[in-house]
Structure 1
Amino acid sequence: MVGARLIVMIDAIFASSVTLLEEALQDVDDQPVLHLMLASPGGDGEVAVRLIRSLQARCSKLRIIVPDMAKSAGTIMCLGANEILMGPSGDLGPIDPQFPVAGRGLVGAKEIEAAVESADARVQAAPDTFPLYAGLLSDVNMLMVEQARSATKRSYSLLKEALEGAHGNQAEELGERLKGPLVDEATYHGAAIGPASAAALGLPVIEADTAGREWALIWALWTRYFAMGCFPAGNASVYEGRRASQVTPHMA
């Protein structure tokens, strides 16, 4: 990896990510190999597919480095990589769209659906509990529930779109293999998929040589960002390349 072109993205994945990543990519057109260090708790899968298209357009081979976690929409981005370099603590996860809920951070679409369905069943059984569950779900409205349902239905399409750019004719077969564990069977957003599990699913995972120089350099860089408070769900986001650097503190 020494001498390779490296872009760093540490953030939740939402619409602003497109412009911020594009800025970091402005001087990397026609690179034979592009490395992206990615750390993300997830976000919008539609945006993740746009980001992957942009990265793939700049190189003939995309390697995504996961030093910590790349969950949900971050996992969608990893599906568009030719190689995924993961250390033993690296973590992918189910593809479950996320929505910001006031006071609770990012909440998975399936969790929103399950909470509403559970509350409805409990109120049907005991109508006098309605005020309790209405209070507990006060930050969730019907529009959010419908958006969560629609986003969940769209998850498999996003999975396939991400795969197509990197896996060509194998994308359809790999998509069918991943649909169960990453979409249909996933019940908990935070479920961990480590490097061995990801490789067993058919993803192009390279398990890091933790005693080697390459991983030592990666880890030294990652821990510097971590010390700045830049990590998944941390207090700052990072989009950084050779010429552009955007380190943005999150609002309290």
Structure 2
Amino acid sequence: MSNFDIDRVISISLEISKSDNCDIFLYNGDIERGGDLEFIEAVHANKRNSICRLILVTSGGDPDAAYKMARYLQDRYDRFELILGGLCKSAGTLIAIGAHELIFSPYGELGPLDVQVAKEDKLNGYQSGLNISAALQAMESRAIKAYLRLIGDIMRSSSGVVSFQTASKSASDVLSSLYGPIFARIDPEDLGSRSRSMRIAADYGKRLDAVSENMKDGAVGRLAETYPSHGFVIDMAEAEALFVNVRTASSRELELIEALGPSSRWPTKDSRMICLSADQEEDGDETEPEGGDERPQQEDGEDSPRAGEPAGAPSGSVRRAGRRQRSATSEDLRPATSNGTSPDGPQ
């Protein structure tokens, strides 16, 4: 995630959090299984209020993970609000359906309720689930137009000698030779799998909307079926035709988005979840008194256990186990590798 002035970001977030009694989180990156667990753990560790405001920046991902994340926020908070600082596509739109209110910045945009499907025999390659549907519709439209045009051409060129039945048969034979090999390459099983994937996202959307009640009639179906591409821009004006509660970001919210810079606008490769509203002083790590640990020694020279700490437990293990997740610091912004470690060692 890009670097930014963490002190300024935390200062603005705490001001918004205290004035509006809300927790503020930033999630940037792909939505995938594993990332949903990190998301849930961060929310669980930092929940302080009954309202959640999530800044979500993503190109999309796994609808199952998106559903888990949105459903958890619905379960944990009385009200869930989504701030759109930049791109929020595909599975990100699914999370948006679970929000009680959408908050748009000038850069904010949603996308169709589209599922990213892995390309066959391609590593790390994904394509829109809308591709196969769009391709079939285009081929069907072209075939019908070509069929009707061929019939008319044949009958006109023969001056009416050739009957409609004969012209129809001739046109059908021509189209079979042209489009037959193309349609033969379509795998019915693959087509069914992609159709099911698209239906999964729509069904999840209906379940999330049953709680948020923020979608207009038929809007979930429109998001899943009527838009032509994965990257189609659904800005605030378009969103107002789909969602009930949509508003422009406040001046302080815009200031927070500006302070976050690219991290609030463009998705990064490595997903990262940060609580922006946790008080660092409250969450700071406990420190040992200067001069070291002066616990009394047992007669045999071994350290005696602290009160409430099991005999034989490592020093401070109980306190560390109960300590909640700290708030965001500059260390949280170091780029992570695929195995979850930073370039200079495990996080």
| TM-score, structure 2 normalization | 0.57
Aligned counterpart, 2:204: 158
Matches within 5 A, 1:123-134: 125-126=177-178
The letter of the residue matching 2:81 is: R
Whether the 8 Å CA contact 2:30–2:270 is kept in 1: the answer is no
Residue 216 (str. 1) matches residue 262 (str. 2): no
Aligned counterpart, 2:282: none
The letter of the residue matching 2:206 is: K
Matches within 5 A, 1:227-238: 231-232=266-267, 234-238=268-272
Q: CA deviation at 1:164?
A: 1.6
Aligned counterpart, 2:226: 185
- Compared CA separation, residues 125 and 159, structure 1 to 2 (3 A): farther
Deviates more, 1:175-184 or 1:44-53: 175-184
Deviates more, 1:184-193 or 1:143-152: 143-152
Q: CA deviation at 1:35?
A: 1.3
Q: CA deviation at 1:148?
A: 1.1
Q: CA deviation at 1:96?
A: 1.4
Q: Secondary structure at the match of 1:42?
A: coil
* C-alpha RMSD of the superposition: 3.3
Quick one: percent identity of the two aligned structures?
Answer: 23
Within 2, Cα distance between the matches of 1:203 and 1:153? 23
Residue 33 (str. 1) matches residue 51 (str. 2): yes
Aligned counterpart, 1:96: 114
Q: CA deviation at 1:21?
A: 0.4
The letter of the residue matching 1:107 is: Q
Residue 13 (str. 1) matches residue 47 (str. 2): no
Whether the 8 Å CA contact 2:73–2:80 is kept in 1: the answer is yes
CA deviation string 1:67-124 (max 9, x = no partner):
1111111011011111211112211111111123336743111214545787999996
Q: Secondary structure at the match of 2:102?
A: strand
Matches within 5 A, 1:47-62: 47-62=65-80
CA deviation string 1:162-202 (max 9, x = no partner):
212222xxx6xx36330343122122121111012101223
Within 2, Cα distance between the matches of 1:71 and 1:250? 22
Whether the 8 Å CA contact 1:67–1:222 is kept in 2: the answer is no
Deviates more, 1:16-25 or 1:96-105: 96-105
Whether the 8 Å CA contact 1:53–1:165 is kept in 2: the answer is no
Whether the 8 Å CA contact 1:31–1:58 is kept in 2: the answer is no
CA deviation string 1:230-252 (max 9, x = no partner):
932x333211124355863459x
Unaligned runs of 5+ in 1: none
Whether the 8 Å CA contact 2:134–2:228 is kept in 1: the answer is no
Q: Secondary structure at the match of 2:81?
A: strand
Within 1, Cα distance between the matches of 2:123 and 2:134? 19
Residue 24 (str. 1) matches residue 24 (str. 2): no
Q: Secondary structure at the match of 1:99?
A: strand
- Compared CA separation, residues 85 and 105, structure 1 to 2 (3 A): farther
Aligned length: 232
| TM-score, structure 1 normalization | 0.76
Whether the 8 Å CA contact 1:72–1:94 is kept in 2: the answer is yes
Q: CA deviation at 1:34?
A: 1.1
Unaligned runs of 5+ in 2: 1-12, 18-22, 144-174, 279-324, 327-331, 340-347
Q: CA deviation at 1:43?
A: 1.5
Partner residue of 2:274 out of 237, 240, 252: 240
- Compared CA separation, residues 203 and 11, structure 1 to 2 (3 A): farther
- Compared CA separation, residues 127 and 197, structure 1 to 2 (3 A): closer
Aligned counterpart, 2:169: none
- Compared CA separation, residues 117 and 193, structure 1 to 2 (3 A): closer
Within 1, Cα distance between the matches of 2:30 and 2:118? 10
Structure 1 or 2: larger strand share? Answer: 1
Within 2, Cα distance between the matches of 1:124 and 1:117? 17
Q: Secondary structure at the match of 1:151?
A: helix
